Chain A
Amino acid sequence: MKLTFNIQGGDFTHAGKPSSEVKKVLKQLNVDGKTVKNIVIALYEAEVNVVAHAWKGTVSAEIDENKITIFVEDDGPGIPDIELAMQAGYSTASKQVRDMGFGAGMGLPNMKKNTDELLIESIVGKGTKVKMVNYFK
C-alpha cells in the first residue's frame, strides 16, 4: 500500500495531517501501538521540519507486510552540515517556528530515536530527502 501527501512550507495549519492519516491506516492494520507511535512521531517531526524550513515537500509512505518505508522530500534551503543538525539542541528555526512550540533542535535526533533506519541526504539550495524505515514488531 502506498500513501502520498503534499506539504506546503509555512503552513502550520495543515502540518500533521499526513501523520494523522498514516496513524489511522496503521491502526486499521493492527500494527502494535508502540510501533505506530514511533512511526508517527518521526513522520510528524519530519513534516514540521518541512513546514518550518522548506518551500514545499512530499510524503510518501509504503506499507509492506513487515515494515513501513517513508520518504519525505522537500524543495528547500537544504542542510549544510547534517552531522551538526543531528546534534540535540542545534537549531536554525525562526522565531515564528519557536512560537509554535518547535525549533528546539530536537527534531532530527528524535527522528533517529523513533526509527529503525534513518537516511538523510541534502543539497544546499535545492532540498532535503529523508528515508525512514520502521519494522513492525
Chain B
Amino acid sequence: MKLRDIATVLNAKVTCGVDKLDEEIGMGYSSDLMSDVLTLDTDNLILITGLVNLQCIRTAEMADIRAIVFVRNKKASDPMLELACENGMCILESPFSLFKSSGLLFQAGLKPIY
C-alpha cells in the first residue's frame, strides 16, 4: 500500500516526508509500547501509535521503520519532526483512534506482522 493511500484512508496530514508518499508499505503494527516495537524483526512497516515523544522517533530510527502515523489527533513536536526528517521518515497525523486507524488500514489490505 502506498503511503499516499494510507494518508487518504486515515484522513491524515503529512507533516514530514511528503516526497516519500509513493513508497510502498507492506505491513502495519499498532502499539504504544516502544519495548514491543524494538522486538520486531520486520522493517517494511508503518507504526501506528498514540505515543507522541522523541523516543518514538528514536525507536523507529533504530528499528529501520520508515513511516509513523500518530493517531487520536496527536501532534508531533518540532524536535520530533526535525529528527524524523533527518532520518528520511514519513510522519502522518490522523484524527482517528488507534482502533479505527488499524481497522481501516487492515480493511484496505495492509498486512499484520503477526
A interface list, Cβ under 8 A from B: 12-13, 15-16, 19-20, 23, 33, 37, 40-41, 44-45, 48, 100-107, 110, 113
Task: Return chain B residues, CB-CB under 8 Å to A102.
Answer: 34-35, 55
Tell me what chain A mostly uses at the interface: helix, strand, loop, or mixed: helix
Are B58 and A41 closer than 8 Å at their CB atoms? no
Return the 5 tightest CB-CB contacts between A and B, nearest first: A16-B58, A101-B34, A104-B35, A106-B35, A44-B62
B interface list, Cβ under 8 A from A: 32-36, 38-39, 43, 51, 53-56, 58-59, 61-64, 79
Task: Return chain A residues, CB-CB under 8 Å to B64.
Answer: 33, 37
A112 to B33, CA, bound (A): 19
Are A41 and B63 closer than 8 Å at their CB atoms? yes
Are B61 and A101 closer than 8 Å at their CB atoms? no
Task: Return chain A residues, CB-CB under 8 Å to B33.
Answer: 101, 104
Given contacts A12-B54, A13-B54, A15-B55, contact A101 B62 (CB under 8 A): no
Task: Return chain B residues, CB-CB under 8 Å to A104.
Answer: 33, 35-36
Are B62 and A37 closer than 8 Å at their CB atoms? yes
Task: Return chain B residues, CB-CB under 8 Å to A20.
Answer: 58, 61-62
Task: Return chain A residues, CB-CB under 8 Å to B32.
Answer: 101
Are B56 and A101 closer than 8 Å at their CB atoms? yes
Task: Return chain B residues, CB-CB under 8 Å to A40.
Answer: 62
Are A37 and B38 closer than 8 Å at their CB atoms? no
Are A12 and B43 closer than 8 Å at their CB atoms? no
Instruction: Pick from A23, A101, A107, A113: contact of B51, CB below 8 A.
Output: A101
Are B63 and A12 closer than 8 Å at their CB atoms? no
Closest residue of chain B to A14 (Cβ to Cβ) is B54
